[in-house]
Amino acid sequence: MTESSEWLIYRGAGEPHDGLSRLPPPPPWRDFSGRDAAADGGDGSRDRRLGAHRHLAELHRPGAEELEMINAALYLRRPLLVTGSPGAGKSTLAHSVAYELGLGDVLRWSIVSRSSLQGGLYHYDAIARLQDVQIAAQGGYGAASGSPGAVEAVGSYIRLGPLGTALLPSDTPRVLLIDELDKSDIDLPNDLLNVLEEGEFEIPELQRIADRLPDGEAEVLTADGTKVRVRDGRVRCRAFPFVVLTSNGERDFPAPLMRRCIHLELGRPDHNRLATFVRAHLGDEAARAGDDLIGRFLERSRSELLATDQLLNAIYLTDAAAPTSRDRLADQLIQRLDRPR
């Protein structure tokens, strides 16, 4: 086998071999072993990227304009709408604020075309409740339908979403990242207006039975897995959360949303920020070894649409590849995202 192919695990030779034993550990962002709570102290199952996010937060050094707009949003209790290209550091900003101000883990709502305001606030599992009521009526587990226990148990079928959890009353604000809002359908930005202005919302399923609940309270599950009590079916914040809405600039937002937000536009990341990004995920040695790839990536990004995930993939993989194929492999991994089909 030639030097350039020594790194290959699958050889395409049609002969079984034990090459899988040479496969190195996965990149940190593709390490799923953290789902085994016993293997990582019990917290890896929440978010396998949490360590990298925290490291990025420690290393993040915002520019003057970024610093001013973040503080403006904090002072005014307004959402911060951050636009910029992929990898500009939009989501890192939220983690950096949470880390420096001691505001706990960031609540994240990743937006897709099917995302709705309802899903961000809470989810009521009516089907599961109906099934449990039917089982109870047949003499199975739980209280029968109509009993006080069944009424109180309604909260067991309600889970607050990231936005709903961020609006829970507390003395200090939570940090909420509403990621890639420009991927939503046309209605969601307008649907958010009232909740972001008033800082409260109602849960009709609890309001209808509030007079039958002890002190009008029901226990529900939050987006980060804890249980809280909601009174009279209404959630109302005391400290408005620090809300970061990110956008890749793929669409314009309605004027009423823009009026309610502080707007920050991030430019393309420079060499130092890209190196910090690599260092946070792969370590100092990888950042030094991949410095030339960072420079080439930065040069190409001036005229091509690229994503920093591609840079991470290239630096990680070329570290395992033979030097003779390094540049070619990097070019294959970092392909422009806006190329003609």
Mean pLDDT of the chain: 85
Please work out, in degrees rounded to the nearest 5, the angle formed at the alpha carbon of residue 102 by the alpha carbons of 109 and 97: 55
In the predicted structure, residue 4 carries a pLDDT above the cut 60:
no
pLDDT above 90 covers what percent of the chain?
48
The residue with greater pLDDT, 261 or 268, is 261
Tell me what pLDDT residue 158 has. 94
Confidence of residue 141 (pLDDT cuts 50, 70, 90): low
Which phi and psi (to 5°) does residue 262 adopt?
A: -90, 130
Q: Count of residues for the chain?
A: 341
pLDDT at site 113: 94
Give pLDDT tens digits for 273-301: 888 888 888 888 988 999 999 999 999 98
Copy the structure tokens of residue 198.
């008033």
C-beta separation of 236 from 168 below 8 A: no
Q: Other C-beta atoms within 10 Å of 102: how many?
A: 7
From CA 293, how far away is CA 314, in angstroms rounded? 8
Ranges assigned E (strand) in 120-199: 122-124, 158-160, 175-179
pTM for the predicted model, two decimal places: 0.81
The bridge status of strand 242-247 relative to strand 175-179 is parallel
Contact by Cβ (8 Å): 237, 200: yes
pLDDT band at 176 (very low <50, low <70, confident <90, very high): very high
3-state SS assignment for residue 200 = strand
Alpha helix (H) residue ranges in 36-113: 50-59, 64-76, 90-101
Whether 334 and 297 have beta carbons less than 8 Å apart is answered as yes
